């Protein structure tokens, strides 16, 4: 089948689609293409997830508006089903790859899942099929890893026997369906025609811009946009540390800096968690490791952000001295406010550091089941309450009541959530990351 024949199958929705990897990206993508009228087969190695999906339920944790209803409807209409059996992809015209692409301790990409998926796809690939990698990958992966492996296992040549593209996802936990439909996407094809056919495909689920380009540009856009954010956050964190050393308030400095055009300074904080930002800079950095290009800023920004939980420990130690046997309450375990996503949680890093100092650590989080509980009970006999994640609920704390429960009236604010004037009235001592000023809002 030629690309033009594939284009017409996309147009009349007779193209049969497979989505490999039904995680927080693959599952909504599969469901949206099924809702758009395509026959979609989900390939998932975890049988428990397959069974959950085929019963019309979503295995994705957390609040994902619209996802559960969407899965129920496309499964009941038989437009979408899941299976662990790769041989069932032998009648698929389009195959999307959404498997995990973590990095190792040495900050190199760990491609076991990607290689296994590409190999299984190659072994069952039909002539004229279009394979699209949606996972975030190190720039150069399409050319040097995916292409040769797919040609070897399929016995066909790219651009003749099959077509190959890269279309990175841009989704945030908690807004999966909305992001997939309303955020622009970069569409990298093995040829301009392939990129154009990919645009025709994604037009069925994406309302925003679809920007056609080549593989390396698509790989770079995704890793660069997240590295950009990591560097921006690291800059804010480093300015916070400077302000503390100079007795200034970084939040006042930031407000005034942002008045200068084009200075959208981000927020300092207790750490940088999540699935994307801590990982993607390493995927970008590792892309030039072999070419002896000496990059310094992107790894340095990662180091700055990784050290923020240790900086929080210093703030606690500065106020309490020896932490041995002292009970400390951490507020917020999720990596992001009003989310239950705990991946790369800064609070976990801080918990480990506090435990090494002999402190007894209690954790409260209204979104993470393991840390549900009565905040005031948890605060009993604590020497400090440390805000790590700015859940909105922490703005409703009864500070007078809290003060009466603490062994030491100390609050450490790692996200500039709390209003110092409101706190001071209660007689509690408030230490805010980045604010060492004593001037009352001059």
- Give the shortest CB-245-to-ligand SAJ separation in angstroms: 20
Residues assigned a catalytic role: 222, 276
The string of DSSP letters for 356-375 reads HTT-EEEEE-SSSGGG-S-H
327: nearest Cα among 353, 362, 302: 362
172, 224, 257, 288: residue in contact with ligand SAJ (rule CB under 6 A): 172
**Range list of H helices, 44-168:** 47-54, 67-76, 112-124, 141, 147-154
3-state secondary structure 276-318: CCCCHHHHHHHCCCCCCCCCCHHHHHHHHHHCHHHHHHHHHHH
Q: Does the footprint of ligand SAJ cover residue 281 (CB under 6 A)? A: no
Q: Does the footprint of ligand SAJ cover residue 272 (CB under 6 A)? A: yes
Chain centroid to CA 335: 10
Q: Does the footprint of ligand SAJ cover residue 171 (CB under 6 A)? A: yes
The nearer residue to ligand SAJ, 170 or 327, going by C-beta atoms, is 170
16, 49, 170, 351: residue in contact with ligand SAJ (rule CB under 6 A): 170
- Give the shortest CB-301-to-ligand SAJ separation in angstroms: 12
Q: Does the footprint of ligand SAJ cover residue 26 (CB under 6 A)? A: no
Q: Scanning residues 47 to 66, which ones bind ligand SAJ (CB under 6 A)?
A: none
Return d(Cα 361, Cα 350) in angstroms, integer. 10
Q: Which stretch binds ligand SAJ (CB under 6 A): 15-23, 80-88, 89-97, 221-229?
A: 221-229
Q: What mask, x for binding ligand SAJ by CB under 6 A, covers residues 297 to 336? A: --------------------------------------xx
Which tokens in the block code for residue 4? 């033009």
Beta-sheet pairing, 162-166 with 185-189: antiparallel
Distances (CA, A) of 421 to 175, 335, 441, 442: 35, 27, 10, 13
107, 267, 317, 403: residue in contact with ligand SAJ (rule CB under 6 A): 267
DSSP assigned state of 126 = P
Q: Which stretch binds ligand SAJ (CB under 6 A): 53-61, 170-178, 256-264, 377-385?
A: 170-178
The nearer residue to ligand SAJ, 81 or 267, going by C-beta atoms, is 267
- Give the shortest CB-53-to-ligand SAJ separation in angstroms: 23
Q: Does the footprint of ligand SAJ cover residue 269 (CB under 6 A)? A: yes
Biggest CA–CA distance in the chain, Å, is 75
Question: Under a CB-based contact definition with an 8 Å cutoff, are residues 20 and 97 in contact?
Answer: yes
Q: Which stretch binds ligand SAJ (CB under 6 A): 14-22, 96-104, 202-210, 263-271?
A: 263-271
- Give the shortest CB-249-to-ligand SAJ separation in angstroms: 17
Q: What are the φ and ψ backbone dihedral angles of 333, each rounded to 5 degrees?
A: -115, -30
21, 59, 273, 332: residue in contact with ligand SAJ (rule CB under 6 A): 273
- Give the shortest CB-315-to-ligand SAJ separation in angstroms: 15
- Give the shortest CB-209-to-ligand SAJ separation in angstroms: 15
Task: Return all residues near 59 (Cβ < 8 A) that are at least 6 apart.
Answer: 22, 27, 48, 49, 52, 53
- Give the shortest CB-31-to-ligand SAJ separation in angstroms: 18
Q: Which stretch binds ligand SAJ (CB under 6 A): 11-19, 89-97, 166-174, 238-246?
A: 166-174
Strand partners, 132: 96, 165
Q: Does the footprint of ligand SAJ cover residue 226 (CB under 6 A)? A: yes
Q: Does the footprint of ligand SAJ cover residue 257 (CB under 6 A)? A: no
Let me know if 71 is exposed, middle or buried by CB neighbors in 10 A (0-12, 13-18, 19+): buried
Return d(Cα 43, Cα 83) in angstroms, integer. 5
99: nearest Cα among 179, 182, 42, 164: 42
Q: Scanning residues 334 to 363, which ones bind ligand SAJ (CB under 6 A)?
A: 335-336
The nearer residue to ligand SAJ, 197 or 272, going by C-beta atoms, is 272
384: nearest Cα among 422, 354, 416: 354
Q: Does the footprint of ligand SAJ cover residue 167 (CB under 6 A)? A: no
- Give the shortest CB-65-to-ligand SAJ separation in angstroms: 16
Q: Does the footprint of ligand SAJ cover residue 225 (CB under 6 A)? A: yes
Q: Considering CB under 6 A, how many residues would be counted as binding ligand SAJ?
A: 17
28, 109, 274, 332: residue in contact with ligand SAJ (rule CB under 6 A): 274
Virtual torsion, Cα 350, 353, 358, 364, nearest 10 deg: 10
**Range list of H helices, 67-204:** 67-76, 112-124, 141, 147-154, 176-182, 192-202
Q: Does the footprint of ligand SAJ cover residue 277 (CB under 6 A)? A: yes
Residues in touch with ligand SAJ (CB under 6 A): 170-172, 225-226, 229, 233, 266-267, 269, 272-274, 276-277, 335-336
């Amino acid at each position: 089948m030629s690309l033009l024949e594939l284009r017409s199958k996309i147009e009349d929705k007779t193209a049969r689609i497979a989505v490999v990897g039904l995680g927080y990206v693959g599952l909504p993508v599969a469901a949206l293409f099924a809702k758009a009228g395509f026959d979609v087969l989900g390939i998932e190695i975890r049988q428990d997830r397959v069974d959950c999906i085929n019963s019309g339920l979503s295995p994705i944790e957390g609040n994902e508006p619209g996802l559960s209803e969407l899965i129920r409807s496309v499964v009941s209409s038989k437009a979408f089903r899941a299976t662990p059996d790769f041989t069932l992809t032998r009648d698929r015209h389009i195959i999307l790859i959404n498997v995990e692409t973590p990095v190792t301790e040495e900050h190199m990409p760990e491609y076991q899942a990607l290689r296994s998926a590409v190999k299984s796809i190659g072994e069952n690939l039909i002539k004229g099929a279009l394979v699209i990698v949606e996972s975030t990958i190190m720039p150069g992966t399409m050319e040097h890893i995916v292409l040769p492996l797919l040609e070897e296992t399929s016995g066909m040549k790219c651009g003749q026997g099959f077509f190959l593209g890269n279309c990175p996802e841009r989704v945030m936990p908690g807004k999966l369906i909305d992001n997939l439909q309303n955020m622009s996407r970069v569409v990298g094809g093995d040829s301009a025609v392939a990129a154009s056919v990919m645009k025709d495909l994604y037009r069925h689920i994406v309302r925003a811009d679809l920007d056609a380009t080549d593989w390396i540009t698509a790989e770079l856009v995704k890793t660069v946009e997240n590295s950009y954010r990591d560097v921006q956050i690291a800059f804010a964190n480093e300015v916070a540390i400077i302000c503390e050393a100079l007795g200034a308030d970084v939040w006042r400095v930031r407000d005034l800096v942002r008045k200068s055009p084009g200075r959208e300074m981000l927020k300092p904080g207790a750490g940088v968690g999540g699935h994307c930002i801590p990982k993607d800079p390493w995927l970008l950095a590792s892309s030039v490791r072999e070419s002896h290009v000496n990059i310094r800023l992107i790894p340095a920004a990662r180091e700055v952000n990784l050290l923020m939980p240790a900086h929080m420990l210093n703030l606690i130690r500065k106020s309490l001295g020896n932490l041995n046997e002292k009970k400390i309450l951490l507020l917020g375990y999720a990596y992001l406010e009003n989310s239950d996503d705990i991946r790369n949680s800064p609070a976990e890093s801080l918990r480990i550091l506090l435990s090494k100092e002999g402190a007894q650590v209690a954790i409260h989080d209204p979104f993470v089941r393991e840390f549900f509980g009565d905040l005031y009970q948890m605060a009993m006999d604590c020497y400090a309450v440390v805000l790590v994640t700015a859940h909105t609920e922490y703005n409703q704390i009864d500070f007078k009541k809290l003060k009466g429960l603490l062994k030491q009236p100390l609050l450490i604010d790692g996200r500039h959530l709390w209003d110092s004037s409101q706190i001071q009235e209660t007689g509690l001592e408030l230490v805010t990351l980045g604010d060492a000023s004593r001037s009352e809002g001059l």
